[in-house]
Amino acid sequence: MRIESIEPILLDRFLFVRVTTDTGVTGLGEGGAWAFHEATVGALGVFTDYLIGKDPLLIEHHWQYMYRSTHFRGSAIMAALSAIDIALWDIAGKHYDAPVHALLGGKVRDKARCYFHVYGTTKEELFAGVRNAREAGFTAVGHLTPFLDSPRDEPFHQSHARKIGDAVDTVRRYREIAGPDVDLCIEIHRRMTPYEAVQFGREIEPYRPLFLEDPVTPDNFDETAYVASKIGIPLATGERLTSLWEFQMLIARQAVQLLRPDICMVGGISGARKIATLAEASHLGVVPHNPLSVVSTVACLQIAATAPTFVLQEFPADIWSDQAKRPDFDQLVTGAPRHDGAGFLNISDAPGLGIVLHPDARDKFPYLPRKLKTRLHRDGSVVDQ
């Protein structure tokens, strides 16, 4: 069996990659550099020149070759490598008539606990999202900002006291609505400085969040370690990182308690399973990052199935089709995972990833390129959001 073609598929807001072999077996992957899909397509072209004619089952060798072949890495390149890696695992599973998780050593769990996504441009919408999640049977709520999901063309300004005070009060209300049986995953989206994050983190400790996610930008690991050392809440981070070695540096600094690898960014299933092993060696939790499509979701579930310290799976399907105007999972593929009504996703035992892309998906959902747009302060300076 040899690789015959590698095809990038741009549809809606996603970049899929289909790898086809000379035996007709195909694999599907996804790239995670969502703001730079066009750059990822360029990187795919370079990798394609190498991969055509190669044995698709030599997954680790191809990973090492592509990763170590140049002096340049980063998000667009790693997204391309990740998409190919996921597709090759899909091919391997179909070739051996086994789910990917069986090739990784077999399942340690039959289903994956997941969390509901909450969005809102008003406090009432955010509170309603928590209430809806609880009523739908979810036992955890994520993408849960203490701020509003405000439009980026709306200038921002709050005094320090108002910013921290409002954020703390919002988390208090989340806990009141959720009760003690629903975990809160507080998402900051890198909107705080280290001193703000420490003050905020200390003040929300009584509400027992499962984790505080990305309180500061990922540019300086020492800043993340500083925040982690000053608060009594588990700190989650990693969605913007692109390699196993960056996670190792975070762990060495005791800067993280819950690792958030993006499988479509850190080298695919091959990269993510190594990060999960790092987590296991340090008794840290794994919460795979997943803001993308159903392809990303089923790839994440292979890690959820096999990682002993897996904690929770981000699951955007039940909300994003309405709030963010994205296609429902079933509109893209057959075999999509679904929430079971009790806080879990079942893990498929179908060969490969267990999904098949609908032939007309690209026609039904034309590509929607992302525009460069960030938020500004009322004084004209750039705001992290």
Catalytic residues: 189, 289
Contact 354, 4 (CB under 8 A): no
- Is the alpha carbon torsion for 132, 289, 302, 362 positive or negative? positive
CA distances from 318 to 40, 83, 263, 276, 322 (A): 28, 24, 20, 26, 8
DSSP 152-182: TTS-B---HHHHHHHHHHHHHHHHHHH-TTS
Burial track 197-227 (b if 16+ CB lie within 10 A, e otherwise): bbbbbebbeebebbbbbbbbbbeebebbbbb
Query: CA 238, 271, 250, 78: dihedral to nearest 10 degrees?
Result: -60
Q: How many C-beta neighbours within 10 Å does residue 254 have?
A: 14
Q: What are the tokens at 147?
A: 């701020």
| DSSP single-letter state for residue 7 | E
| DSSP single-letter state for residue 98 | S
